[in-house]
Chains A and B, each alone.
Chain A
Amino acid sequence: MSTYTVTDPDTGSEVDLARVRKEKDPERWKWRAISIVVVLTFLAIWELLPRLGLVAPIILPPASAVWAGLLELVVQETFMGHLRVTLVEMVVGFVIGTIVGFSIGVGLGVWESVKKSVYPLVVAFQSLPKIVLAPLLITWFGYGIESKIAMAVVIAFFPVLINTMVGLETVPDEARQLMRSMRASRSQVFRKLSLPHAAPFIMAGIKTGLTFAVIGAIVGEFVGSSEGLGYLLHAYSFQLRIDKVFAVIVILSAIGAILYFAIDWLERRLVYWRNDSGLA
């Protein structure tokens, strides 16, 4: 981007819009370096504790053994199949959960009568610890992929629902009056004011929903499955292959991180305005 210098007509001072955002860069690199040092220290302690005999390697294998286990794991023929199953469960569950949560959230946020009649049921459902539904969902949908998708949907849709509803409800009164003074129709108010206003809220809900979908898929696999990374984790645990257990955990957190950063990237493009100030 080129430099964009303009004069503030009120103060007469020069404002460089491009610079405003880049000012904090040197600080950012300093903290990035410090955080890498913290990670390395953590890995060193992990390596040393079992090697010095402070912890039994069967309880905590050294980091290097986990790394070796990881390399061994990913070249196994069956590994890609397990990975694909879990990814499909997470992503499909997340997408369906987001669509369901957004749709119900819009219904509750736009129509007062819908909110009054349906909201108590929604709250009752939310106070339920949804993990207890896992055995039931397996009874309903079987041992396959469907029950895990259902589990991911069930726990992922709620944060999207609540954030969509709250985002739509917090549109400032003055902005509504402005739209009314321009004779905007209900659908124009929704498209041009309420929905973009709610977008930062909705994106925050979607981020939480994604983390929840990952949990849902894995918990579903724990409870009953014959494939997937959760199944693999469970199986290695029983075989006391703790290095492989850690290897699967590392893969799962990598998946979680990649999905999260993908959504974060999307968020910064969709919600490009500062979202902490409401309306100017």
Chain B
Amino acid sequence: MKALEPVNLSVDRGEFICLVGPSGCGKTTLLKITAALLTPTQGTVVFKDAPLLEPSRSIGVMFQRPVLLPWRTVEKNAYLPAEISGTMGPATVERVARVLAMVGLRDFATALPDHLSGGMQQRAALARTLAYEPELMLMDEPFGALDEFTREAMNLELSELTQQAGITSLFVTHNIPEAVFLADRVVVMSPRPGRISGIVEVPFPKPRHVDFMRDPAFTELTFEVRRILSEAEAKSTDPHGGQR
């Protein structure tokens, strides 16, 4: 069975794209193809005018779980990418210290991940990705396992940090308000088969403040995303009546 129908999406430098859709719509597959962690059966990913055939050091990936190495302290987890690329040095130490301060973990640099709360662990993972200085960040529901309050706080910070650093972002979520809050463009995806069923532009300046969620336009945009999802749902109903 095909996970994804042909997908065509181009993303500009510095843009924040949210992929939103129900389970099974292929959004994680699309993200992994973009990271070159999966090879598509057809088609290519073009990154900075060249086809992307293997993982790139300019692309940082964040997963739903923090995936920290429990035997390494927070700062040593953040050193990992530099150690692997053989660029570990005083510059890395300085950059990691700066990034840890940015995500509010300066006092926890020498703590082991198991001593941290879920939110703090995910901040550490964010710090590891930022210390990489990626041009493109691919995030697969990075805050999906966190409680609502922590999640909102993290979204605000992420919005600011990526804006400041000019990082291009591809962010997978199934939370519609979260997608609208973060994105320049919300790419709506639908399952059976996985495809893009619409794109919603969010023409509001960034970084955004919590007040944006009270704006009538915000509500309007979330409804627009919901409308595209339910229309696609109606269309994708299996003619044979079954689910697979």
A184-B115 in contact (CB<8A):
no
Provided the pairs A10-B119, A177-B37, A280-B121 are in contact, do residues A182 and B70 lie with their beta carbons within 8 angstroms? no
Q: Pick from B56-64, B170-178, B201-209, B214-222 the stretch touching chain A.
A: B56-64
Contact: B55 with A183, CB < 8 Å? yes
Docked CA distance A272–B111 (Å): 12
Q: Please, how many residues of chain B have a CB less than 8 angstroms from a CB on the other chain?
A: 42
Query: Is the CB of B113 closer than 8 A to any CB of chain A?
Result: yes
Q: Which A residue sits closest to B138, measured CB to CB?
A: A181
Contact indicator A182/B123 (Cβ below 8 Å): no
Q: From B57, B65, B81, B120, give the contact of A10 (CB < 8 A).
A: B120
Shortest CB distance B158–A (Å): 14
The 8 A CB mask of A171-191 against B (1 = contact, 0 = none) is 010110111111110001000
Do A279 and B69 have beta carbons less than 8 Å apart? yes
Contact of A177 with B63 at beta-carbon distance under 8 Å, contacts A10-B153, A17-B115 already known: yes
* B-side contacts of A273, CB under 8 Å: 70-71, 112, 114
* Residues from chain B with Cβ under 8 Å of A10 in the complex: 117, 119-120, 149-150, 153
State whether A192 touches B65 (Cβ < 8 A).
no
Is the beta-carbon distance between A279 and B65 smaller than 8 angstroms?
A: yes
Which chain B residues border A6 with CB–CB below 8 Å?
107-108, 111
Find out whether the CB atom of B105 lies under 8 angstroms from the CB atom of A9: yes
Task: Please determine whether B71 and A175 come into contact, CB atoms closer than 8 angstroms.
Answer: no
**Smallest CB–CB gap between A201 and chain B, Å?**
13
- The answer to whether A7 has its CB under 8 Å from any CB of chain B is yes
**CB under 8 Å from chain B, chain A span 1-35:** 6-11, 15, 17, 20
Minimal Cβ-Cβ distance residue in B for A4: B111
- Judge if A259 is at the interface, Cβ distance under 8 Å: no
Q: CA of A241 to CA of B63 in the docked complex: distance in angstroms? A: 68
Known A177-B37, A193-B69, A279-B65; judge A182-B81 contact (CB<8 A). yes
| Residues on the A chain within 8 Å of B19, using CB | none
Residues of the A chain whose Cβ atoms lie less than 8 Å from the Cβ of B32: 177
| B84: contacting residue among A7, A192, A280, CB under 8 A | A192
Chain A residues whose C-beta falls within 8 Å of the C-beta of B149 in the assembled complex = 10
The answer to whether A272 touches B150, judged by C-beta atoms less than 8 angstroms apart, is no
Per the bound structure, the CA–CA distance linking A273 and B68 in Å amounts to 12
Beta-carbon contacts under 8 Å, A230-271 to B: 271
Which of chain A's residues have a CB closer than 8 A to the CB of B66?
Answer: 280
> CA A36 – CA B204 in complex, angstroms?
71
Our pick among B37, B67, B111 for the contact of A17 (Cβ within 8 Å) is B111
Q: Which positions 90-110 of chain B face chain A at CB distance < 8 Å? A: 104-105, 107-108
**What is the bound-complex CA distance between A196 and B132, given in angstroms?**
23
The reply to whether A192 and B80 contact each other, CB–CB distance below 8 Å, is: yes
Of A15, A182, A196, which contacts B69 at CB under 8 A?
Answer: A196
Closest to A177 in B: B37
Contact of A183 among B57, B63, B105, B114 (CB under 8 A): B57
Contacts of B19-68 to chain A: CB distance below 8 A: 32, 35, 37, 54-57, 59-61, 63, 65-68
Residues of chain B within 8 A (CB-CB) of A11 are: 117
Residues A192 and B83 in contact, CB atoms below 8 Å apart: yes
- Interface size range on A against B: 20 to 34
CA distance A182 to B84 in the complex (A): 7
Is there a chain A Cβ closer than 8 Å to B243's Cβ? no
Partner of B70, one of A177, A181, A274: A274
A199 to B72, CA, bound (A): 13
B8 within 8 A of A: no
Which residues of chain B come closer than 8 Å to A178, judged between CB atoms? 61, 63, 67
Residues of B within 8 A of A175 (CB): 67, 69
Chain B residues closer than 8 Å to A117, beta-carbon distance: none
A179 near B115: Cβ-Cβ < 8 Å = no
Chain B residues within an 8 Å CB radius of A184? 84
> Measuring CB to CB, which residues of chain B are less than 8 angstroms from any residue of chain A?
32, 35, 37, 54-57, 59-61, 63, 65-71, 80-81, 83-85, 104-105, 107-108, 111-117, 119-121, 123, 132, 149-150, 153
Write the residues of chain A forming the contact surface with B, with a CB cutoff of 8 angstroms: 6-11, 15, 17, 20, 172, 174-175, 177-184, 188, 192-193, 196, 199, 271-274, 277-280
Task: Report, nearest first, the 3 A-B pairs whose CB atoms are least far apart.
Answer: A10-B119, A280-B113, A9-B104
| Beyond A6-B107, A182-B80, 12 additional pairs, beta carbon < 8 A | A8-B120, A11-B117, A15-B115, A175-B69, A178-B61, A178-B67, A179-B84, A180-B55, A181-B35, A181-B60, A183-B55, A273-B112
6 residue pairs from A and B, CB less than 8 Å apart: A8-B120, A9-B120, A17-B115, A181-B55, A274-B114, A280-B66
